């Protein structure tokens, strides 16, 4: 009997986002494919260190065990060929990650395979794959390089920026073209009109479904961390209400540093569309950048 991926929250993650493969990637970038292949063969039995996305994936997979039911499906999506992927497979086994499905594309872009697995979130360290994924309507983030994070909580905590992430960039374009006062005036004027969905909206909807399925367990917590002030934030609240989505925490920062709030929140991942915010945030919590898109909507 074939599997319906629509029954699960499906996360596709590149091997470089899940594991620390920066040394191997540097060899590929500087010395070429043959040197990379030789390096992988020589280190085939060496277990890879966790990468930026590892804690998040581990916590999502733990939900399956805690609920005694398959609710999350994780698929490792690697540009490696089959012959150079044994180190990744060995590392999956070493960390006892319940991941059975892999895509090994042999250098081809990964994004073309997202539809086949009905992916709800794609995390990668390859900018082109992320761009293509978002253009095709799939929530995706370019994950920042691995750093040491202190995230002791067993709860999954996911934080989003607002404009150009959960919501479309229409309001942000007004800010860029006409300034802050025009932006705030537009948001107050249109506070009863729901904003259009942005690149990560589908993932938020799927998280809400997972929260409902895990009701009363408190396994998952969501937050919006936005530079909007409380007046421009009214439209955010009313949009979520029209979407029938409840977000656990919302921060209207009016320009305050997002990284400080995210460190206190303890995000397992933070999504933002600007490096000026996502970069500093990545120093304290795992972070991913949502790259510019054509805002195609995933169905």
- The stretch 71-90 carries a mean pLDDT of 88
Q: Which of 30-44, 216-230, 236-250, 252-266 has the lowest mean pLDDT?
A: 30-44
Q: Compute the Cα dihedral for 79, 84, 90, 91 and give only its sign.
A: negative
Residue 299 has pLDDT above 60, yes or no: no
- On whether the CB atoms of residues 78 and 14 are closer than 8 A, the answer is yes
Residue 33 has pLDDT above 80, yes or no: no
Using only the alpha carbons of the chain, give its radius of gyration: 19
The pLDDT value given to residue 1? 52
Spot the catalytic one: 161, 169, 268, 272.
161
Residue 57 has pLDDT above 70, yes or no: yes
**Is 42 in a helix, a strand, or coil?**
helix
The pLDDT value given to residue 2? 63
Residue 297 has pLDDT above 50, yes or no: no
- Known catalytic residue at 136: no
* Whole-number Cα distances in Å, 94 to 48, 64, 145: 9, 19, 22
Residue 250 has pLDDT above 60, yes or no: yes
| Spatial distance between the Cα atoms of 112 and 136, rounded to a whole number of angstroms | 9
């Amino acid at each position: 009997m074939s599997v319906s991926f629509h029954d699960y929250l499906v996360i596709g993650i590149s091997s470089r986002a899940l594991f620390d493969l920066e040394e191997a990637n540097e060899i590929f970038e500087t010395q070429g494919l043959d040197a990379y292949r030789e390096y992988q063969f020589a280190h085939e039995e060496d277990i890879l260190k966790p990468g930026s996305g590892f804690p998040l994936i581990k916590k999502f997979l733990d939900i399956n065990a805690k609920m005694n039911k398959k609710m999350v499906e994780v698929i490792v999506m690697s540009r490696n060929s089959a012959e150079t992927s044994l180190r990744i497979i060995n590392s999956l086994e070493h960390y006892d990650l319940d991941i059975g499905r892999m895509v090994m594309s042999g250098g081809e872009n990964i994004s073309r395979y997202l539809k086949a697995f009905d992916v709800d979130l794609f995390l990668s360290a390859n900018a082109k794959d992320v761009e293509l994924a978002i253009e095709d309507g799939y929530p995706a983030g370019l994950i920042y390089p691995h750093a040491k994070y202190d995230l002791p909580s067993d709860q999954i905590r996911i934080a989003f920026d607002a404009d150009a992430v959960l919501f479309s960039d229409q309001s942000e374009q007004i800010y860029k073209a006409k300034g802050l006062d025009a932006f705030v005036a537009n948001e107050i004027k249109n506070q009863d009109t729901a904003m259009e969905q942005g690149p990560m909206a589908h993932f938020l909807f799927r998280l809400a479904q997972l929260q409902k399925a895990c009701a009363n367990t408190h396994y998952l917590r969501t937050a919006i961390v936005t530079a909007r002030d409380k007046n421009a934030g009214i439209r955010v609240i009313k949009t979520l209400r029209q979407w029938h989505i409840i977000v656990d925490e919302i921060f209207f920062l009016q320009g305050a540093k997002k990284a400080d709030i995210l460190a206190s929140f303890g995000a397992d991942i933070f999504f933002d569309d600007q490096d000026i915010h996502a970069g500093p945030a990545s120093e304290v919590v795992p972070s991913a950048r949502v790259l510019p898109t054509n805002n195609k909507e995933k169905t």
